[in-house]
């Protein structure tokens, strides 16, 4: 059992928190959309608590501290759970993990951060969430911590983390600014590229290979669809959620020349209705209808990967880390029969790929910032990540040295996984333009996609989506 | 041809009766099917959980996992402790609501004064408002008062769920109770308090049982308050069950089904134990003039 958290809130901080809470509550029901000024400090730059750490680096510097970490159940979290005692032995810091189901994770996290209580010192977050949680000052800028040799071990080697990942969690919060500038709001911990996983046994039996162009993918998926025998060609997400557009859709959309926004003079103009975007989106919706799951508008990644694992879907265009567990012995009906492929290249040969990274961030209202940083540093460091990867469920590690080392050794029976990763990693980054209304914009995009799937005209639907998006980012 | 004479308790079979029975049976099958499906799911292994319907090799392993150390490793919560916390918090919340709510319901049922209806509707409005509307301020207050992640804190916040229910249900019972009974007691020299305890209260006992059970079940099923206002120390069953869902491509629907079925048992047992009072209590107001 975990000890109850201590609360060191003053009356003033309570009132500030309540003020923030009032605004946050007014913005309900979409709690995940709350952006309010927090009771916590922004913690960036010269005012960072990192500057208070001086002298030689010492893992034991925060000995005796207890930190609480907020996580969602995930192979990354499960791979690290057995290692937490090693961290305690190394640092003398006790870690109290709190798990929250993925569906409600961001509701809890949003409340926690909006309340400014600092209950949880460290939390798991995705890169897109930085665009919402960062501007109100809810997140600690970790760049001063990385740069401080008194707080960070010389062995840490931040540059070993893939560049596309380091930049994905860095932003200056200015509209129109690209990622990779400003504060480092989180450290990538585990990540996924969005590529095609397929039933290799079926492909081998039929003597076919994965498609190299988008038009070939459409034809291949059509050929593999056999509704009478409950088999269909390709699964990808279709639910009314921002998460529908970010995996396979955004990857192929980008490869086919699409962009979400164009930036001019610091102003964003939605571009998901450009001729290339309309053409691609129309084909994508038709692909879902002709060769996708019959309940496509309800599909999220668990349904997609479940159908692949059960042999119902011949291909899945989604996160490699979500399809990876299905190939583990005993994990699914088709375990051992799966293979991976980059997915079709764009007309210009582009393998631009969108990514998702579960990263570790620090609550700016944390009262144990040094201990929190030591934990983040340890968990994203080479040694611990390497050990976690050896547990066999950690895909993909964010460090090149760990990928090339421990991870490759676990990939014996995963045909195409390594080749696919190496082919796309150089072009893997967040393909969206960073903006604070991301979730609203992406969800309305998903709704537009569903409408096109249902028969609406692609051009006029995307014109409306683009108009709404342009208006949203101006506000 | 002479009609057969029916014995005591026997009823003549009619086409309408058969049709009604058939519809009732079909309705039961429809209503209970999700429970049956969950039970079947809870007996499947990881591979068969999504690849089979009725033909599978049953195993009790999922129940052992949920209740054992493996389940605790997966969720960072001891499921047995979560059940105990739920029992304590819901029983505590129900008890507090009864202690405070019964006199409140009696007063609301017996006396009318300026603003009494508004007061009652204000209390009912706690049930209308989405919990997410008040959760952030509650979260801040709970930290300030050191109630975060405590069973006492849960008992307190669950009053938002149980109190309106108890007061509104019992008010109708007190309203249906003839005031002449208490007036007779007053004429006999009873005080108002004694008349309440010795005359009115015993007569609404079935109603109290029904209100208590409903309050307990509503408190048991509450999700948002324990999700936000507790961590591992005071996790309730509803929150603990969802932690078995997994994530990142690893879904444990079988464990979730097993945990959910185990989580249903305490209120189910309670309902069966006081079923007699429940039926009487729920029909109490209906037969009163």
Q: Under an 8 A CB cutoff, do A111 and B135 touch?
A: yes
Q: How many whole angstroms separate alpha carbon A181 and alpha carbon A166?
A: 10
Question: For A167-205, what is each residue's pLDDT tens digit?
Answer: 999 999 998 899 999 999 999 999 999 999 999 999 999
Query: Can you give the pLDDT at residue A46?
Result: 62
Residues B34 and B105 in one domain: no
Residue of B nearest to A120 (CA): B231
Considering only residues B127 and A58, tell me which one the structure prediction assigns the higher pLDDT: A58
Q: Is A103 on the interface with B (CB under 8 A)?
A: yes
Residues B273 and B241 in one domain: yes
ipTM of the complex in this document: 0.86
Q: Under an 8 A CB cutoff, do B248 and A22 touch?
A: no
Query: Can you give the pLDDT at residue B281?
Result: 64
Residue A5 is classified by DSSP as P
Q: Given pLDDT bands bounded at 50, 70 and 90, which one contains residue A475?
A: low
Residue B8 domain-assigned (yes or no): no
Helices B79-110 + B159-176 axis angle, to 10: 40
- The minimal CB distance from A7 to the residues B143, B245, B248 is found for B143
- The minimal CB distance from A18 to the residues B140, B248, B251 is found for B140
Residues B150 and B214 in one domain: yes
Query: Can you give the pLDDT at residue B275?
Result: 80
Residues B56 and B145 in one domain: no
Considering only residues B286 and A98, tell me which one the structure prediction assigns the higher pLDDT: A98
Q: How many whole angstroms separate alpha carbon A234 and alpha carbon A222?
A: 9
Query: Can you give the pLDDT at residue B248?
Result: 81
Burial of A235 (0-12, 13-18, 19+ CB in 10 A): buried
Q: Establish, for the pair of chains A and B, how many residue pairs have beta carbons separated by less than 8 Å.
A: 156
The range of the structural domain enclosing residue B34 comes to: 15-65
Residue B4 domain-assigned (yes or no): no
Residues of B in contact with A104 (CB under 8 A): 227, 242
Query: Can you give the pLDDT at residue A153?
Result: 97
Question: For B186-201, what is each residue's pLDDT tens digit?
Answer: 999 999 999 999 999 9
- The minimal CB distance from A115 to the residues B76, B130, B139 is found for B139
Residues B191 and B241 in one domain: yes
Q: Is B55 on the interface with A (CB under 8 A)?
A: no
Q: Given pLDDT bands bounded at 50, 70 and 90, which one contains residue B85?
A: very high
Q: How many percent of chain A have pLDDT more than 70?
A: 90
Residues B177 and B273 in one domain: yes
Q: How many whole angstroms separate alpha carbon A213 and alpha carbon A216?
A: 5
Residue B23 domain-assigned (yes or no): yes
Query: Can you give the pLDDT at residue A30?
Result: 39
Q: Given pLDDT bands bounded at 50, 70 and 90, which one contains residue B287?
A: very low
Question: For A87-111, what is each residue's pLDDT tens digit?
Answer: 999 999 999 999 999 999 999 999 9
Query: Can you give the pLDDT at residue B285?
Result: 52
DSSP assignment of A280-316 equals: HHHHHHHHHHHHS-TTGGG--HHHHHHHHHTTSEEEE
Domains of chain A: 51-191+355-415 (3.40.190.10), 193-354+430-474 (3.40.190.10)
- pLDDT above 80: residue B258: yes
Last residue of a domain, one of B65, B93, B124: B65
Residues B148 and B46 in one domain: no
Q: How far is A99 from chain B (nearest CA, A)?
A: 6
Residue of A nearest to B249 (CA): A322
Residues B76 and B56 in one domain: no
Residue B214 domain-assigned (yes or no): yes
Residues of A in contact with B149 (CB under 8 A): 2, 4-5
- pLDDT above 70: residue A22: no
Residues B30 and B42 in one domain: yes
Pairing of strands A170-171, A428-429: unpaired
Q: How many percent of chain B have pLDDT more than 90?
A: 67
Task: Please state the rounded mean pLDDT for residues A135-156.
Answer: 97
Cβ-contact A195, A420 below 8 angstroms: yes
Residue B3 domain-assigned (yes or no): no
Residues B29 and B90 in one domain: no
**Coil, helix or strand for A356?**
strand
Residue of A nearest to B228 (CA): A108
Residue of B nearest to A334 (CA): B47
Question: For B7-61, what is each residue's pLDDT tens digit?
Answer: 777 777 889 989 999 999 999 999 999 999 999 999 999 889 988 889 999 999 9
Residues B119 and B254 in one domain: yes
Question: For A298-345, what is each residue's pLDDT tens digit?
Answer: 999 999 999 999 999 999 999 999 999 999 988 899 999 999 999 999
Residue B204 domain-assigned (yes or no): yes
Q: Is B175 on the interface with A (CB under 8 A)?
A: no
Q: Is A15 on the interface with B (CB under 8 A)?
A: no
Residues of A in contact with B248 (CB under 8 A): 73-76, 321-322, 325, 358
Residues B61 and B107 in one domain: no
Q: How many percent of chain A have pLDDT more than 90?
A: 85
Residue B92 domain-assigned (yes or no): yes
Cβ-contact A247, A236 below 8 angstroms: yes
Last residue of a domain, one of B41, B65, B89: B65
CATH number for the domain that contains residue B174: 1.10.3720.10
Q: Under an 8 A CB cutoff, do A81 and B76 touch?
A: yes
- The minimal CB distance from B144 to the residues A14, A330, A331 is found for A14
Residue B6 domain-assigned (yes or no): no
Q: Given pLDDT bands bounded at 50, 70 and 90, which one contains residue A24?
A: very low
Q: How far is B135 from chain A (nearest CA, A)?
A: 8
Number of folded domains that form chain B = 2
**Coil, helix or strand for A181?**
coil
Q: How many whole angstroms separate alpha carbon B111 and alpha carbon A454?
A: 58
């Amino acid at each position: 059992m975990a000890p109850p958290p201590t609360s060191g809130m003053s009356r003033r901080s309570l009132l500030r928190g309540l003020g923030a809470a009032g605004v946050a509550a007014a913005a309900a029901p979409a709690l995940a959309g709350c952006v309010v000024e927090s009771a916590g400090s922004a913690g960036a730059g010269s005012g960072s608590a990192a500057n208070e750490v001086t002298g030689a680096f010492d893992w034991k510097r925060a000995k005796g501290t207890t930190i609480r970490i907020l996580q969602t159940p995930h192979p990354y979290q499960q791979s690290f759970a057995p290692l937490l005692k090693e961290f305690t032995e190394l640092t003398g810091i006790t870690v109290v993990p709190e798990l929250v189901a993925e569906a409600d994770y961001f509701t809890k996290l949003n409340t926690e951060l909006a309340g400014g209580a600092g209950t949880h010192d460290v939390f798991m977050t995705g890169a897109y969430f930085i665009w919402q949680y960062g501007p109100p000052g809810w997140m600690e800028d970790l760049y001063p911590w990385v740069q401080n040799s008194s707080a960070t071990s010389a062995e840490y080697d931040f540059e070993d983390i893939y560049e596309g990942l380091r930049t994905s969690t860095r932003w200056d919060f200015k509209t129109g600014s690209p990622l990779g500038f400003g504060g480092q709001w989180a450290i990538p911990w585990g990540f996924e590229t969005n590529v095609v996983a397929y039933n290799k046994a079926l492909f081998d039996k039929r003597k076919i290979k994965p498609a190299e162009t988008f038009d070939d993918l459409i034809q291949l998926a059509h050929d593999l669809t056999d509704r009478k025998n409950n088999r269909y060609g390709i699964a990808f997400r279709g639910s009314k959620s921002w998460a529908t557009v970010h995996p396979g859709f955004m990857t192929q959309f980008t490869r086919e020349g699409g962009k979400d926004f164009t930036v001019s003079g610091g102003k964003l103009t939605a571009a998901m209705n450009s001729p290339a975007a309309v053409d691609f989106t129309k084909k994508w919706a038709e692909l879902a209808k002709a060769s996708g799951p019959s309940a496509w508008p309800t599909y999220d990644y668990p349904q997609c990967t479940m159908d692949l694992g059960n042999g119902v879907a011949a291909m899945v265009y989604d996160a490699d880390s979500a399809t990876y567990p299905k190939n583990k012995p005993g994990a699914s009906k088709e375990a051992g029969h799966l293979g991976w492929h980059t997915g079709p290249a764009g007309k210009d040969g582009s393998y631009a790929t969108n990514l998702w990274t579960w990263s570790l961030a620090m609550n700016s209202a944390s009262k144990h910032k040094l201990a929190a940083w030591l934990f983040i540093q340890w968990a994203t460091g080479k040694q611990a990540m390497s050990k976690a990867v050896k547990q066999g469920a950690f895909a993909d590690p964010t460090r090149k040295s760990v990928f090339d080392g421990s991870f490759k050794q676990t990939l014996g029976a995963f045909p195409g996984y390594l080749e696919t990763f190496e082919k796309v990693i150089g072009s893997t980054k967040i393909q969206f333009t960073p903006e604070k209304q991301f979730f609203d914009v992406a969800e309305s995009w998903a709704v537009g996609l569903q409408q096109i799937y249902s028969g609406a005209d692609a051009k006029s639907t995307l014109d409306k989506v683009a108009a709404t998006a342009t208006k949203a980012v101006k506000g | 041809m002479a009609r057969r004479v029916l014995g005591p308790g026997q009823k003549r079979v009619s086409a309408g009766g058969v049709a009604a029975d058939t519809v009732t049976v079909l309705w039961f099958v429809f209503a209970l099917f999700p429970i049956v499906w969950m039970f079947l799911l809870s007996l499947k292994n990881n591979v068969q959980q999504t690849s089979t319907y009725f033909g599978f090799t049953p195993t009790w392993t999922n129940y052992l996992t949920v209740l054992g150390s493996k389940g605790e490793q997966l969720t960072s919560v001891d499921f047995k402790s979560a059940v105990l916390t739920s029992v304590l918090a819901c029983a505590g919340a129900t008890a507090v609501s009864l202690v405070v709510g019964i006199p409140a319901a009696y007063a609301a049922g017996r006396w009318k004064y300026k603003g009494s209806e508004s007061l009652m509707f204000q209390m009912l409005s706690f049930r209308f408002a989405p919990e997410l509307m008040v959760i952030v301020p509650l979260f801040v207050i709970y930290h300030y008062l050191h109630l975060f992640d405590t069973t006492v804190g849960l008992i307190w916040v669950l009053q938002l769920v149980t109190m309106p229910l108890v007061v509104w249900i019992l008010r109708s019972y007190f309203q249906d109770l003839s005031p002449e009974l208490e007036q007779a007691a007053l004429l006999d020299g009873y005080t108002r308090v004694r008349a309440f305890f010795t005359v009115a209260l015993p007569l609404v006992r079935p109603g109290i049982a029904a209100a208590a059970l409903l309050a307990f079940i509503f408190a048991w099923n509450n999700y948002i308050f324990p999700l936000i206002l507790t961590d591992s120390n005071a996790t309730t069953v509803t929150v603990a069950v969802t932690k078995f869902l997994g994530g990142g491509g690893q879904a444990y629907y079988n464990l979730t089904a097993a945990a959910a079925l185990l989580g249903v048992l305490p209120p189910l047992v309670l309902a069966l134990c006081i079923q007699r009072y429940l039926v009487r209590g729920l029909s109490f107001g209906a037969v009163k003039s």
